[in-house]
Homo-oligomer: A and B are copies of this chain.
Amino acid sequence: LSTRGSGTVADLGERGAIADIRARVLPSPPWLLAGIGDDAAVAAPERGALDVFTTDALVEGVHFDLTSSTAADVGWKALAVNLSDLAAMGATPRLALLSLVLPATFATHDFHALVDGFLALAREARVTLAGGNIARSPGPLIVDVTAIGSVRPRRVLYRSGARAGDELYVTGTIGAASAGLMYSKESKDSKKLKALQPAEGRDTPIEAAAQPADPLLAACVARQRRPIPRVRVGVLLGRNRAASACMDLSDGLADALVQVTEASGVGATVDARALPIDAGALHWFAAHGADPIQAALAGGEDYELLIAVPRRGRRRLETVRQQARGVALTRIGEVTREPGVRILRDGAVESLPRGFVHF
């Protein structure tokens, strides 16, 4: 479907936009009895399972801008941040609803790219787009997603289950998205200077998002633009009953440590030297005079999982590790009776940096 240069979503109209989405969606699974096109979606719940619901929005100018992310990135990420919340509950994703608030000037090819980015992750995660809404925006582009999953009753991972003596783990690496975002902001600033010079037939900014030559840094930029939610690890943690508590790192590890310990009525001690800081991020932070540990603790958007594991659950965690297809699970500290979060570095105690502030 090549519709490049064919106008804006205002030309397409609501019906045209919905028809274009329907044309891109895979055939419905048998348990979806009504999808796009009726007043609401109708689905048979998973037998014997609980329903899990979450919603999260990406707002242009707050969570992304279309000079450093493509429209496809935004579509992908809007689903990813919601699947990350389902993963943190141990839930298997099933359905999503896509609520778009689109400026009338939004280009049709960007609209298609956004939907295709969303559907690319949906296919990978076996999520069915079951419905949504399209409204006009007098300002920013907003992509609001509701994701719906299922989980068996005794496999749910709550924030509030951590107990003193549990070990704390994180998946993958941290700091990468934060370094990637800093790179994108820097390269955007230098682009602004370039824009003062005569144009050289470049593509539109929305497609020309800067890519660093350094592959480690490029991986950081990719992580920030197209995070990969830890769906499989979340499901494995629930299935193996390996975790007492879990939360995703949307607003950074420091924030997640505070949230999980407060919800559980406990504290935590974290070994700074054990933190799995991303290699590209380490280089970037060092080159920019930032303390890598503080930066990695504060940096949001890694969409990894923070996991509390009871000592008797260690062998279960090994089972998860074996089935996790190479996703690292790093022990970073432990849950304490004493409230508060303490970062231990070289025998000294450090305070926590603040996470992402939404207002």
Among A13, A55, A136, A248, the one with the most B-chain Cβ atoms within 10 Å of its Cβ is A55
Residues in chain B near residue A328, CB distance under 8 A: none
In the bound assembly, the distance between CA atoms of A151 and B248 in angstroms comes to 33
Would you give the shortest CB distance from A334 to chain B, in whole angstroms?
Answer: 22
Task: Evaluate contact between B156 and A33: CB separation under 8 angstroms.
Answer: yes
- Given A45-B50, A263-B37; A101-B57 close (CB under 8 Å): yes
Q: Which of A137-145, A181-189, A219-227 contacts B (4 or more CB under 8 A)?
A: A137-145
Interface string of A1-18 (1 = CB under 8 A from B): 000000001101110010
CB of A116 within 8 A of chain B? no
In the bound assembly, the distance between CA atoms of A263 and B148 in angstroms comes to 26
- Given A34-B158, A137-B139; A57-B88 close (CB under 8 Å): no
Q: Which of A91-99, A168-176, A266-274, A288-296 contacts B (4 or more CB under 8 A)?
A: A91-99
Q: Which residues between 120 and 170 of chain A lie within 8 Å of chain B, taking CB atoms?
A: 130-140, 142, 144, 146-149, 151, 153, 156, 158-160
Task: Evaluate contact between A139 and B140: CB separation under 8 angstroms.
Answer: yes
Task: Name A39's contact: one of B37, B54, B132, B142 (CB within 8 Å).
Answer: B54
Interface string of A234-255 (1 = CB under 8 A from B): 0000000000001110000000
A-B contact pairs, 6 of them (CB 8 A): A39-B54, A40-B149, A41-B54, A53-B95, A55-B144, A61-B138
Question: Would you call the interface of chain A mostly helix, strand, loop, or mixed?
Answer: strand
Task: Evaluate contact between A40 and B146: CB separation under 8 angstroms.
Answer: no
CB of A104 within 8 A of chain B? yes
Residues in chain B near residue A85, CB distance under 8 A: 39-40
Task: Evaluate contact between A42 and B359: CB separation under 8 angstroms.
Answer: no
Task: Evaluate contact between B148 and A53: CB separation under 8 angstroms.
Answer: yes
Which residue of chain B lies nearest to A8 when distances are taken between CB atoms in the complex?
B359
- Given A59-B138, A138-B59, A247-B39; A51-B51 close (CB under 8 Å): yes
Would you give the shortest CB distance from A302 to chain B, in whole angstroms?
Answer: 15
- Given A104-B359, A138-B61, A138-B140; A132-B55 close (CB under 8 Å): yes
Which residue of chain B lies nearest to A84 when distances are taken between CB atoms in the complex?
B39
In the bound assembly, the distance between CA atoms of A63 and B137 in angstroms comes to 10
Task: Evaluate contact between A40 and B59: CB separation under 8 angstroms.
Answer: no
